[in-house]
Structure 1
Amino acid sequence: MATGGVGRAGAATSGGSAARITVDLGAVADNTRTLAARARGAVMAVVKADGFGHGAIGVARAALGAGATWLGVTGLGEALALRAAGLDGPMLSWLNPPGADFPAAVGQRVDLAVPSLAHLAAMPRGARIHLHLDTGMARDGATAGEWVALCRAAREAELGGRVTVVGVMSHLAGPDTPAALRRFRAGLEIAYAMGLRPRVRHLAATAATLTAPETHFDLVRTGAGLVGIDPSGTTALRGAMTLTAPVVEVRRVAAGTPVGYDHTWRAPRDTTLALLPVGYADGLPRSAGPRGEVLLGGRRCRIAGRISMDQVVVDTGPGDGARIGDIAVVFGPGDGGEPTVTEWAGWAGTLPHEIVTGLGNRPHRHVVGGN
C-alpha cells in the first residue's frame, strides 16, 4: 500500500520545494530478510536518526514485519516516540545522560544501556539494563578499568531488586574486530564472575552482521543495512530512498559561458543547461559539485558549477537534452542507471549515512511499499 505526503517521523508534510523523496519500505523489508538470513542470533532494527532519514516509524514496522524482533535507538525521546506510535516489543535506548527521564522508559518497557556507575545510580526500580563496555572506540561505554566496579554494582542492584541486567553490549570500531572481540569476551567473563547472567549479548552492527559471524552472539544491531547501505561493501542491498527534482528552466549557452557562484565552471562547448530546484539546504553535499551527476533523459548528466542552497545546474549536452518538467533522478537504488547515494558520498568524500540523514524537510516525502 502506498502512502503519500508522509514525513520522516510519520507526520504529514506539505513539502517546501519541488524536489521529492520516495522511501521504499519494500526495500527495507528485503534488506531485513537478507540481514536476518546472515545473523546467527536475533535482529535488532536500529532506527535512530529517524530511521537513517527514511522515517523511523515506517522503517521500524517494515523491519519488524520482515524478521527483526528488537528495535534500537540512541536517545530516549526516539524510543518514546516509537511507543507512542504503537510499536511494541523489545526496545533498547543506549545514549542518554544520567538525568534522562528513565522512569518514563521503565513505564514504556524500554531497556536502557548503562555505561557508567553514574548511569547505574540513576536507574529507577524496575529498569531493564544492558551494561555497555568500551572495547576500543574511546567513545561510549565503560572502560576496562571501570568495568569490574560497574559489574559488581550492577549485580548488587540486581540482588536488591532494583534492576534486571538483561544484556551486555559494545560497539565495533571497524577493522580492529579481533581485538575488540577479545575485549568483549573478557568483559563477559568478568560479568559472569560477578554473578551476572545476561541473556542478550550484542556487539555486531551491519558490517559485522554481513562479514563476521563470530561477533553475532545473541543479537545483531542493523541500522544502515536496513535502508540499503552496506559499510562492508560485500553485499548487494537495495537502496530504499530515491531523490528526484523537476527541471524548472532550460537554456542554451555558448562555449565559455560561466555558471554559478565564483564561476568555477565554464561550458567547454555550446551546450544546454537544466536547472533543478534542489540544493545543499535539501541535503546535497556542496563538496560533491565538481563531480556529482544526475540521471536526466535516460543518461548521466554532470553538475555544472557549484551546488547552491536551493538549486543546481546540470550540463545536458549540446542536443535538446532536457525540457521543463522533465524529472531528474538525483540518486536512487541504481536500478535504472541513476547515481546511488554511495556514489554521492564518494563524490563528497563522506559516508552515505551522512547524506541520507542530512536531507532536509523541504522535499515532499512519499512512502511506498508499506502495509
Structure 2
Amino acid sequence: MSFPARAVVDLSAIASNVRSLRAHAPTAQVLAVVKADAYGHGLVPAARAAVAGGATWLGTAQLGEAIALRTAGVTEPRVLTWLYAPGAPLARAIELDVDLAVSSASALTEVVAAARLVGRTARVHLKVDTGLGRNGLTPVDLADLLPAALRVQAEEAVALVGIWSHLAFADEPEHATVRAQHEVFADAVRLAESAGARLEVRHLANSAATLTSPQVHYDLVRPGLAVYGLSPLPQLGGPEDFGLVPAMTLEAELATVKRVPAGHGVSYAHQYVTPVDTVLGVVPLGYADGIPRHASGRPDRMGAPMRVGDRTLGIAGRVCMDQVVLDLGPDASEQAGDRVELFGTGLEGGPTAQDWALAADTISYEIVSRLSTSVPREYVGLDPQTGAVVGQVEDVTAGDAR
C-alpha cells in the first residue's frame, strides 16, 4: 500500500541506548518502557531491540499492550503493566505471566479474584503516590491495604514483588520535590518490609532520574523517552550528552513543486504570503498523521523545521489535515519525489524531535508518540521479529490508505 512518507526506526539505536542507560545505572536492572506503541516506534520491534540491549524488564501503561507483547511471542523478560479500569482482563494477563500494578484496594480485590479464577499467583507491585497526585495509594492507603495484601499473599493468591512510584519533577534534578518524594518512598518501602513483604524490586526512577539522580535508582530503573534516544532534560543536554542516539527519522517525498508569484497566499487563512517570486513544495503529511497544528508557520515566524537537501526550511503557513507547504525559495531546484526529512538524529545538522517540540511549544515525547499508525514504520539495524543484527530496511507496517 503506497504512502509517500515513513518513519525509519533504527532498532540498533534503541539497543545501544539501553546499553548506555545500563551504564548510567550500573547497580540496577533496566525496565524499558514501551507504552504508547513504544512512544510511536512500534511496540514489539522496539521491545525486542530493548531486550537485545540488555533490558531485563519491559513496561506498558495499558494492559492490552502487555498482553500484546506476550501473544506476539515476547515471553521474556518480565513485563509490568500499570493502568487499567474495573473489568479489565486481568485473568488473561496473569495467565500470560504479566506483573500487575495495584493502585487501590478495589484493584487488589479484582486481581485476587482473577488469580483465583485461573489458579495462578498474581505478581503484584504496589503503586504509591509519593507526591505526583496521579495514580497510586497514598501512604495512609498503603498502611490500610498492607494487612489485606499480606493475607492474600499467604493464601498464594498474590505475590508482593515490588513497590514503586513516579517523580513529579525528575526533569529538574535539584527540585525540592525529588528529595521529598524519595523520603516518602523510602518510608513506604520500610513500612512494607517491616510488615513482612519480601520485595524483589523497588523502583522510582524514570528516564531523567536514571540519567541524573543515582540516589533513586534502587533495584530497577524505568527509562522511557531515553530508550528512544531523546533527552528528557533538554535544558541540561541533548541526546549526545547522555550517550543516546535518536532512533526515529521521519521523512517524506515532495508531492508537488510549483512556482508562484510574490504576494501569493499559502495554506488556510493565508498566514504566510510569499514575499518574492518563489517555489513552493507540498509535503504530504498533516495533523491527521500526527503533525502538530501548533507547528504551523505564523505571520511572525516560520513553522517547524524540515531538511531539504542541505537546507533547513520552516513550514510556511498552516498545517493542514494531510499536507504542509514549504517555501523552497526562488532558486529552488527540487522536484516532486525529492526527499524531505522532518526530524531525525540531528547528527548531520538536520532537525530533531526536540526542534519540533520547541516549534510547537510542547515536548519531544509528544512529537514522536503522536505519529499516526497510518505512517509506515520501517526498521533498520536489527530484525524487528527476532532482534538479530540485519543490514536492510524491513517495512513492517504498511499504513492505511485515506
Is the Cα contact below 8 Å between 1:18 and 1:364 reproduced in 2? no
Task: Name 1:215's counterpart in structure 2.
Answer: 216
Task: Name 1:108's counterpart in structure 2.
Answer: 96
| TM-score, reference length from structure 2 | 0.86
Tell me the distance in 2 between the aligned counterparts of 1:121 and 1:363: 41
Query: Which residue of the other structure, out of 17, 38, 51, is the alignment partner of 2:38?
Result: 51
Is the Cα contact below 8 Å between 2:203 and 2:220 reproduced in 1? yes
Q: Does 1:356 align with 2:387?
A: no
Tell me the distance in 2 between the aligned counterparts of 1:77 and 1:272: 47
Is the Cα contact below 8 Å between 1:206 and 1:224 reproduced in 2? yes
Task: Name 2:9's counterpart in structure 1.
Answer: 23
Write out per-residue CA displacement over residues 224-256 of structure 1, whole angstroms, 9 at most, x where no aligned residue.
111112212334221111111111211222222
Q: Does 1:148 align with 2:155?
A: no
Tell me the distance in 2 between the aligned counterparts of 1:325 and 1:161: 62
Tell me the distance in 2 between the aligned counterparts of 1:204 and 1:364: 32
Q: Does 1:130 align with 2:118?
A: no
Q: Does 1:63 align with 2:50?
A: yes
Q: Which amino acid aligns with 1:220?
A: V
Task: Name 1:266's counterpart in structure 2.
Answer: 273
Paired residues for 1:190-229 under 5 Å: 190-229=191-230
Tell me the distance in 1 between the aligned counterparts of 2:374 and 2:200: 44
Tell me the distance in 2 between the aligned counterparts of 1:50 and 1:200: 25
Is the Cα contact below 8 Å between 2:42 and 2:377 reproduced in 1? no
Tell me the distance in 2 between the aligned counterparts of 1:248 and 1:81: 36
Q: 1:178 to 1:167 in 2, by over 3 A?
A: same
Tell me the distance in 1 between the aligned counterparts of 2:61 and 2:332: 49
Q: RMSD in angstroms over aligned alpha carbons? A: 1.3
1:211 Cα deviation after fit: 0.3
Tell me the distance in 2 between the aligned counterparts of 1:36 and 1:157: 35
1:346 Cα deviation after fit: 0.9
* Deviating more after overlay: 44-53 vs 100-109: 100-109
Structure 2 stretches lacking a partner, 5+ long: 298-302, 383-387, 389-402
Tell me the distance in 2 between the aligned counterparts of 1:320 and 1:142: 60
Is the Cα contact below 8 Å between 2:290 and 2:370 reproduced in 1? yes
Q: Secondary structure at the match of 2:369?
A: helix
Tell me the distance in 1 between the aligned counterparts of 2:71 and 2:95: 12
Structure 1 stretches lacking a partner, 5+ long: 1-13
Task: Name 1:11's counterpart in structure 2.
Answer: none
Residues matched between the structures, number = 357
Query: Which residue of the other structure, out of 295, 303, 311, is the alignment partner of 1:288?
Result: 295
Is the Cα contact below 8 Å between 1:93 and 1:110 reproduced in 2? yes
**Percent identity at matched positions?**
45
Tell me the distance in 2 between the aligned counterparts of 1:217 and 1:38: 13
Q: Which amino acid aligns with 2:108?
A: L
1:80 Cα deviation after fit: 1.0
Q: Which amino acid aligns with 2:347?
A: D
Q: Secondary structure at the match of 1:74?
A: strand
Tell me the distance in 2 between the aligned counterparts of 1:302 and 1:90: 44
Higher RCO structure, 1 or 2 (CA under 8 Å, sep 6+): 1
Write out per-residue CA displacement over residues 245-299 of structure 1, whole angstroms, 9 at most, x where no aligned residue.
1112112222221111001111122221111111111111011112212100211
Task: Name 1:6's counterpart in structure 2.
Answer: none
Is the Cα contact below 8 Å between 1:257 and 1:266 reproduced in 2? yes
Q: Secondary structure at the match of 2:193?
A: helix
Task: Name 1:344's counterpart in structure 2.
Answer: 356
Q: Secondary structure at the match of 1:305?
A: coil
Q: Which amino acid aligns with 1:359?
A: L
Tell me the distance in 1 between the aligned counterparts of 2:368 and 2:286: 14
Is the Cα contact below 8 Å between 2:207 and 2:224 reproduced in 1? yes
Task: Name 1:41's counterpart in structure 2.
Answer: 28
Task: Name 2:62's counterpart in structure 1.
Answer: 75
Task: Name 2:160's counterpart in structure 1.
Answer: 165
1:321 Cα deviation after fit: 4.0
1:363 Cα deviation after fit: 2.2
Q: Does 1:96 align with 2:100?
A: no
1:365 Cα deviation after fit: 2.2
Is the Cα contact below 8 Å between 1:271 and 1:316 reproduced in 2? yes
| TM-score, reference length from structure 1 | 0.93
